[in-house]
Structure 1
Amino acid sequence: MDDLQKTKEELLAEVLVLRKALEKSHADLDQFVYVASHDLKAPLRGISNLSQWLEEDLGPQLGAEPRRQLELLRGRVQRMESMIDGLLDYSRAGRVRHKPERVEVSRLVHEVMEQLPAWASARLELGPGMPALTTERMALQQVFRNLLSNALRHARREELVVRVEAGDAQDFHHFRVADNGPGIAPQYHEKIWGLFQTLVARDKVEGSGMGLCVVKRLVESRGGRVWVESAEGAGATFHFTWPKPQERLT
């Protein structure tokens, strides 16, 4: 009995040591990511500023083609900054936890939509029975932001309609974000969730290729899952499940 108790205490002590080591590792990783992103962004800002100053100094002497090239250069800088931000989001998505709070999903979706640059050109529809739940607001907000932003970015039509619906999946809420955009061919349904994956050339549709990857990591780290239903030319419906402790319907 004494040996069993000793073994139990030794295992508990070992778990505590491993936990502290893991916490330190996470803290070190956060610090590394922050410093790396700062060091990477600093020269990018310098490049952007120099191109702007060059354009201003040359003024009328700068021809149309050189001016276009400078604008293209600044666009590439913005893309790199977006990719760095995407990597930051991805590195934190599976590790950082926020204090749960009461969230009304219908209000959250409206707030997210209004923050997106092209929201005025789209019509947002909400299905009935949108839940209110106690959860991590920041994480759920980022999932909806990335999915709605993805729909707006790839709309390629004047009258874009985005519909958000909620359903029940036992211990989870089942959310659907559907659009009437160009759709996604079946062979790309898995590829789109990868790092830096885009189906349209970045010269045509600007994006980091990180949005859906971050969605997948956020959802799966909370025990849910993500998938898409779509066909080319027929819009897309993105699905994800989210845990539902202490929920009530509004």
Structure 2
Amino acid sequence: MQLQQVFTNLISNALKYHDHPATGTVEIGCDDAGDFYLFSVADDGPGIDPEYHERVFVIFQTLTERDTLESTGVGLAIVKKIVERQGGRISIKSAEGQGAKFLFTWPKQSAKVKNLSTTVAKAPNSAVPLTT
């Protein structure tokens, strides 16, 4: 559910901030990065000046005037919080006029599953089932 929220916010932003959303392109990618998946959401929109790359992840920050576009400035802050809570990282590659590409890592196993499998692997042989 949280991964869905991350994709929903990133794709929604790609469309919302595009100069021409009806003809814009959004590309989604996935690569294997060991214990993580490396996902990307890229668009061919107006791009973001590198000076503002960190600012876009700060809650209530928006790069457009509030009266020109409906934006609360919380979408990317939520995305960052979700990704980091899962043990991943998020970054942006963009330049003004050259689109934007958001890259984030997502663990292949949740921390809960990983901890459980470690516990099971270390548990001595016994007839008592392990519970969480």
TM range (shorter): 0.7 to 0.9
What letter matches 1:139 in structure 2? Answer: Q
RMSD: 1.2
Matched, 1:223 2:87: yes
Specify which structure has the higher proportion of helix: 1
The TM-score normalised by the length of structure 1 is 0.43
Q: Which residue of 2 aligns with 1:243?
A: 107
Correspondences of 1:111-150 after superposition (within 5 Å): 138-150=1-13
Matched, 1:199 2:63: yes
CA drift at 1:202: 1.5
CA drift at 1:205: 1.5
CA drift at 1:195: 0.7
Name the CA distance, whole Å, in 2 between partners of 1:149 and 1:195. 17
Question: Which secondary structure does the structure 1 equivalent of 2:84 belong to?
Answer: helix
Name the CA distance, whole Å, in 1 between partners of 2:54 and 2:33. 22
Q: Which of 1 and 2 has greater Rg? A: 1
Q: Which residue of 1 aligns with 2:115?
A: none
Runs of at least 5 residues in structure 2 that lack an aligned partner in the other structure: 111-132
Query: Which 4+ stretches in 1 moved above 2 angstroms?
Result: none
Q: Which residue of 2 aligns with 1:233?
A: 97
Aligned residues: 109
Q: Which residue of 1 aligns with 2:48?
A: 184
Q: Deviations over 1:30-71 (max 9, x none)?
A: xxxxxxxxxxxxxxxxxxxxxxxxxxxxxxxxxxxxxxxxxx
Q: Which has the higher contact order (CA 8 A, sep 6+)?
A: 2
What letter matches 2:105 in structure 1? Answer: T
Question: Which secondary structure does the structure 1 equivalent of 2:42 belong to?
Answer: strand
Question: Which secondary structure does the structure 1 equivalent of 2:25 belong to?
Answer: strand
Name the CA distance, whole Å, in 2 between partners of 1:150 and 1:187. 19
CA drift at 1:173: 0.1
CA drift at 1:168: 1.4
Name the CA distance, whole Å, in 1 between partners of 2:11 and 2:88. 19
The TM-score normalised by the length of structure 2 is 0.80
What letter matches 1:143 in structure 2? Answer: V
Q: Which residue of 1 aligns with 2:16?
A: 153
